Amino acid sequence: MILDERHQPVQIVLDQVIESAKPEAVFLYNCKYYWGGELTSFKLCVICDCSDKRRLLSEIFDVDCEIPFDILLYTKEQFDEFKDNPSAFAHRIFTKGTMLYGNE
C-alpha cells in the first residue's frame, strides 16, 4: 500500500520493518492527529517469526522518525490464534486496522 504524504513517517518506519523483519503482514492502527489533520503518532502491528525480538525492535526503533511510534510484535501463530477472538486485541487490529503489507 502506498501512503499519502501526511503518512510519510509511517512509510519510513514501514520500509525499515519490511527490510529488518521480513514480516508476513504489517497493520497500521491507532493513529493520532492534530486538529489540522497532521499525524502526531502511530502504532504498527508486525506479524513475523523472529528468534530475537529485542534485536529486531532495536533495529526498527533505530529508524529516524520525526514523530513517536510504537510496534507490537506477533508471531504468525499467535496472530492467527487471536485474530478471530472478539475479546483479543489482535482481533481489534485485524478488523479495525489497515493492512499496509501482506495478504492476510
**pLDDT tens digit sequence for 19-59:** 989 999 999 998 999 988 899 999 999 999 988 888 888 88
15, 39 in Cβ contact below 8 A? no
Task: Give CA–CA dist 52/30, Å, rounded.
Answer: 26
- Chain centre to alpha carbon of residue 79: 13
Task: Give CA–CA dist 30/19, Å, rounded.
Answer: 23
CATH number of the domain to which 28 belongs: 3.30.300
Q: What's the total number of domains in the chain?
A: 1
In terms of pTM, does the model score above 0.75? yes
Which residues constitute the domain of residue 68?
5-102
Task: Identify the pLDDT of residue 2.
Answer: 62
